Amino acid sequence: MGKTAGGLEAPPDRATLSGGAPAGKTRCRPIPLGLTSFRHGMPPINTILIATWGLWLVAAMVAIADPRVRKPFLLGIAVPGLGHMSIGEKGRGLLVAVPVLILYVAGLLLSDFRCVSPFDRHPLWGVLQAPAAGPTLLSWLGTRHLTLEHIGETYQVGCLYVGIASLLNLVALCDLRDLCLKVARRKDASA
Partner 1 sequence: MSVTMALLLFLPPFIATELIAALPGSKSAREALERGIRNTGRHLVLWAVTIGAIHWIAKMLMARAPLW
Residues that bind partner 1 in the complex, under the rule CB under 8 A: 89-92, 94-96, 99-100, 102-103, 106, 110, 153-154, 157, 160-161, 164-165, 168, 171-172, 174-175, 178
Q: How far is the CB of 160 from partner 1 (least distance, A)?
A: 7
- Can you tell me whether residue 145 is helix, strand or coil? coil
Distances 157 to 103, 143, 152, 164 between C-alpha atoms, Å:
11, 18, 10, 10
- How far is it, in rounded angstroms, from Cα 165 to Cα 105? 9
Tell me whether residue 60 or residue 106 sits nearer to partner 1 (CB atom).
106
Q: How far is the CB of 175 from partner 1 (least distance, A)?
A: 5
Distances 16 to 39, 61, 74, 146, 183 between C-alpha atoms, Å:
16, 48, 52, 38, 64
Tell me whether residue 54 or residue 152 sits nearer to partner 1 (CB atom).
152
Tell me whether residue 37 or residue 154 sits nearer to partner 1 (CB atom).
154
Tell me whether residue 44 or residue 99 sits nearer to partner 1 (CB atom).
99
Residue 9 phi/psi, 5-degree rounding, is: -80, 130
Q: How far is the CB of 107 from partner 1 (least distance, A)?
A: 9
Q: What letter represents residue 177's amino acid?
A: R
Q: Are 125 and 164 in contact (CB under 8 A)?
A: no
Q: Are 132 and 101 in contact (CB under 8 A)?
A: no
Q: How far is the CB of 136 from partner 1 (least distance, A)?
A: 17
Q: How far is the CB of 91 from partner 1 (least distance, A)?
A: 3
- How far is it, in rounded angstroms, from Cα 105 to Cα 124? 19
Tell me whether residue 126 or residue 163 sits nearer to partner 1 (CB atom).
163
